[in-house]
Structure 1
Amino acid sequence: MKLRKILSILLVAVMLAGVFGGCSRNIPTEQEVNETGGQSVNGSENQTDAKGTQAPEVQGGGEIIPEEGAKLNFWTLSGYLEYGKAVAELFEEKYGVTVEVQENGLDSVNKMMLDGPSGNGADIFMAAHDSFATAKDAGILAEFSETASAVVKDKINETAVKTVTSEGKIYGIPVSIETYALLYNKALVTGEPASTFEQIREEALAYNNAGENKFWYLTVPTDGYPAFPFLSLYGFQLFGADGSEGDNPGFDTPEFLKGLETIASLKEIIPIKADDLKMETMSLLEQNFKDGKTAYYPIGPWLIKSLKEENIDFGVTVLPTLDGKPMRSFSAVQNAYVSAYTKYPNAAELFATFLTSDDAAALLYSKSYKITANKDIIKVEGLKDDEQLRVFCEEFTKSVPMPSTKRISYYWTIAQSVLSAVFDGTLTPEEGAQKAQKDFDALVASE
């Protein structure tokens, strides 16, 4: 799927060492996670939250015990149904708990807000991480026990953990990750791929032929998602350092202005009108890459499977540097949450924790061709040997999680008009920055 656009329509170590590194904390081992779903919460007595939901029951030795007769309902996102059914079957084999699975698209948070209180919602449901703040504020998420929280911190990539954390408390399981990496066409790029954007720019000026649709480098600089690596290059932080400052989009900063200047400079090597460079036309850019007319194309992992099926000779490398600075793409995490209204909190948390197991991560890859949020992918069958997807894992460690503030929709709207104008030269970067802030203030005032 086209990551950002779909999200916005419907709602809207370090490096390889960090990806492959093991864990050294004195919390559940891999075997314990796979077999028990975690250790104990404080004490063994049941605890009850404001909605009357009991915290998971534990016995001596730290094993979470599912309620007798528990039956669970698991809502997956689009493209995850086969994975959901497979992991549910494996969970039932291990724990004897039946899990009904259904695909619910990207509107699961809205559905849970309606169906959860009436008892018709899921016990565990998946949702894109940028809806986390909305879901938490609506009270539909169960706070994880210390047991499950420890498992999340131990098993999951630190960047992903931030997307389910609020005020030090954890509310979900990061399941899969998506971010940008740089695809290159081996028919055009001989030898090692470029590591700097300066090299790409120089090669583009020598190669480009608009009349023949030949462009050395293509992206969509008119949209806030693919443009972000350029906007953030000099330190621009959208909605603050952790993306939660809804009153602070950062449009009035010198870092944002510098980013807009970089967007304007892309016109030299992408001599295409802004109207022809939109998320709706990305399929044309992808086809140009498949046809061997584009050398470099930054995109997410969702395109990789079709490239392999069509026998395109391509490679994947990390995003290049520009002016000596690394590009950092937006990233998205698809999370699984336990409903605050579940009748079976023990079984639901056990199932959620089971999603961090290596077996579940392997099913995520084999059934849905998705990348696990687990930090130690060297243990994940299939994924550990996938050279292309492993690059996306590396890029994720330095990516910026898409802000989860409710005002993120304002960014997408503002970015589309401002970036298009700056890219086409109808607005200067200075005028673009001023317009962005003015438009944001107007949207806030209209609330």
Structure 2
Amino acid sequence: MMKKWLGVLIVCVLVFTLAACGNAGKGSNIESTPEASSTPAEPGGSNAVNEEEGELLPEEGASIVIWEGKTQRKFVEALAQEFTDQYGVPVKLEEVENPDQVTKLTTDGPAGLGADVVVFPHDQIGRAASAGLVLPNDWFGEETASENDPNAVSAVTFEDILYGYPRSVETYALLYNKKLVSAPPKTFDEVIAFSKTFNDPKKNKYTIMWELQQFYYDYAFLATNGGYMFGSNNTDKEDIGLNNEGAVEGAKFLASLKESLLPLNTGDITFDIKKGLFIEGSLAMDINGPWALADYRAAGIDLGVAPLPSISGNPMTSFSGVQGYYVNAFTKYPNASKLFARFLSTKESQLRNFEMNGTIPANLEAVQDPKIQNDEITKAFYEQFSHSTPMPAIPQMASVWGPITAGIADIWDGGKDVKASLDNSVAQIKDAIASQ
């Protein structure tokens, strides 16, 4: 047990500093059963860990279930068969879309009905970890912390404890039609200059769009100049930086774009409206994510992707997400589950997922592979990811969206004072958090 907790402590320190680590000892997780479980998992037996070899072995008779979305089925089934061949542990896939998994695990986990390995976006880790639904990534924590992008490691960490095994990263970037834009603009000044030759709202032609009613995208304007969501690396709910000096300057710049680029109201720019304009050639540039690529490619667009244009010399800071594997805290087979989560998230597996599904690896070596470096679109998204902020994972984030979205609408649609509008939004956010 002493070795186990020492290993967990080492991982926590490594994740907190986001430093590459050496060859410190790993902690055994034979007894890593949640105290809250009414049906605690049985230890894997005397052969669960080969102490001399420092090797984690699956429990005797183990079989595991993984929840994963439909688009990942072929990848998971292929890797599951290889895992079974190597470890003798059967794996079954049940289709549950990633955003729904924490909600389902909340009830199914304690009831013994949840999958052993789950996959969800990192912004739900606070909810899952606080409820004791997932186990720490202790045995493979050192490798995970050193092999993956620091932003990705930070994203799957909660309260200085590493829980996740990063699968892929995502953020939004600048998508552009190469037939309309010969070279992507590197600054917003260049965007504005281009608009003078292209923009024609009366003919429904626009230079650039993003979903204005979604603060997920508007955040980039506030953050690039020094605004932030929460302090202490998005963990301090008492420190809200959406109305500081940088955020106000960013929001003022955002508001200025209505006259020069987008004389529309926030509700006029939906995902579908924007997509339609881009496909018909009436929109030159679109701030969007990899989720839009399939439709644009299917439409035959000569598509390019580049990092977001800088503002006042500062790289534009987008929100980002990290999909990661997690081990159900109520699993009967924690060793086998940790082995499978690791198996799915190695450099080789992340590259294979990229080849099969176009997911962007979190693994640092995988990103340098020629398969990635020679892919213009994936490389651009990853470059933008390096300038991103992982979506806050603390539960209080749910109190932010409504007030700040209303504040941006007041500024953009109503022309109201920027500082007063942001102050009002932050006050509402603080009241909502205090009432929780």
What range describes the TM-score normalised by the shorter chain of this pair? 0.7 to 0.9
CA contact (8 A) 1:338 1:349 kept: yes
Post-superposition CA distance 1:290-342 (Å, at most 9, x none): 22222221111112233233321121111111111110100011111111111
Post-superposition CA distance 1:34-90 (Å, at most 9, x none): xxxxx9624x69444553555962442222111121100111145333322222122
Query: 384, 390, 394: which is aligned to 1:405?
Result: 394
Post-superposition CA distance 1:360-400 (Å, at most 9, x none): 21332233322222122257685454221121112112210
Distance 2:246 2:373 in 1: 37
Distance 2:111 2:369 in 1: 38
CA contact (8 A) 1:232 1:255 kept: yes
CA contact (8 A) 1:125 1:338 kept: yes
Alignment partner, residue 265 of structure 2: 273
Alignment partner, residue 175 of structure 2: 183
Query: 124, 134, 137: which is aligned to 1:144?
Result: 137
Alignment partner, residue 287 of structure 2: 298
Alignment partner, residue 41 of structure 1: 26
Deviation at 1:166, TM superposition (A): 3.2
Deviation at 1:93, TM superposition (A): 2.4
SS in structure 1 of the partner of residue 76 of structure 2: helix
Alignment partner, residue 243 of structure 1: 234
Between 55-64 and 350-359, report the one with greater CA deviation. Answer: 55-64
Query: 133, 148, 156: which is aligned to 1:164?
Result: 156
Alignment partner, residue 15 of structure 1: none
Deviation at 1:227, TM superposition (A): 0.7
Query: 78, 100, 106: which is aligned to 1:86?
Result: 78
Post-superposition CA distance 1:116-170 (Å, at most 9, x none): 122111111011111111111101111222x300120122111000022234431
Deviation at 1:251, TM superposition (A): 3.3
Equivalent residue runs for 1:226-375 within 5 Å: 226-268=217-259, 269-277=261-269, 281-375=270-364
Post-superposition CA distance 1:205-263 (Å, at most 9, x none): 33211122111111123321111111112111101141112233223422221222122
The 3 A distance-change label for structure 1 pair 328 and 78 is farther
Deviation at 1:24, TM superposition (A): 7.7
Amino acid at match of 2:156: V
Amino acid at match of 1:320: P
State whether structure 2 residue 185 is matched by structure 1 residue 194: yes
Alignment partner, residue 155 of structure 1: 147
Deviation at 1:445, TM superposition (A): 4.6
Distance 2:337 2:421 in 1: 48
Distance 1:421 1:353 in 2: 47
Deviation at 1:101, TM superposition (A): 0.7
Distance 1:358 1:430 in 2: 46
Alignment partner, residue 61 of structure 2: 69
TM-score by length of 1: 0.85
Amino acid at match of 1:287: G
Distance 2:71 2:362 in 1: 16
State whether structure 2 residue 214 is matched by structure 1 residue 217: no
SS in structure 1 of the partner of residue 120 of structure 2: strand
Amino acid at match of 2:211: V
Distance 1:160 1:173 in 2: 9
State whether structure 2 residue 110 is matched by structure 1 residue 129: no
Amino acid at match of 1:144: N
Structure 1: tracts of 5 or more residues without a match: 1-22, 28-38
Distance 2:110 2:373 in 1: 41
Amino acid at match of 2:118: F
The 3 A distance-change label for structure 1 pair 325 and 161 is same
The 3 A distance-change label for structure 1 pair 289 and 426 is same
Alignment partner, residue 382 of structure 2: 393
CA contact (8 A) 2:315 2:387 kept: no
Post-superposition CA distance 1:2-44 (Å, at most 9, x none): xxxxxxxxxxxxxxxxxxxxx98545xxxxxxxxxxx9624x6
- The total of aligned residue pairs comes to 408
Distance 2:25 2:373 in 1: 31
Distance 1:370 1:213 in 2: 34
Alignment partner, residue 101 of structure 1: 93
Deviation at 1:98, TM superposition (A): 0.9
CA contact (8 A) 2:209 2:285 kept: yes
Alignment partner, residue 111 of structure 1: 104
The 3 A distance-change label for structure 1 pair 208 and 231 is same
Between 133-142 and 413-422, report the one with greater CA deviation. Answer: 413-422
CA contact (8 A) 1:132 1:404 kept: yes
CA contact (8 A) 1:57 1:65 kept: yes
Structure 2: tracts of 5 or more residues without a match: 1-18
Between 44-53 and 243-252, report the one with greater CA deviation. Answer: 44-53
The 3 A distance-change label for structure 1 pair 64 and 252 is same
Amino acid at match of 2:223: S
Superposed CA RMSD = 2.3
Distance 2:213 2:34 in 1: 46
SS in structure 2 of the partner of residue 41 of structure 1: coil
Distance 1:325 1:378 in 2: 24
Amino acid at match of 1:132: I
TM-score by length of 2: 0.87
Distance 2:227 2:320 in 1: 16
Amino acid at match of 1:180: Y
The 3 A distance-change label for structure 1 pair 381 and 193 is closer
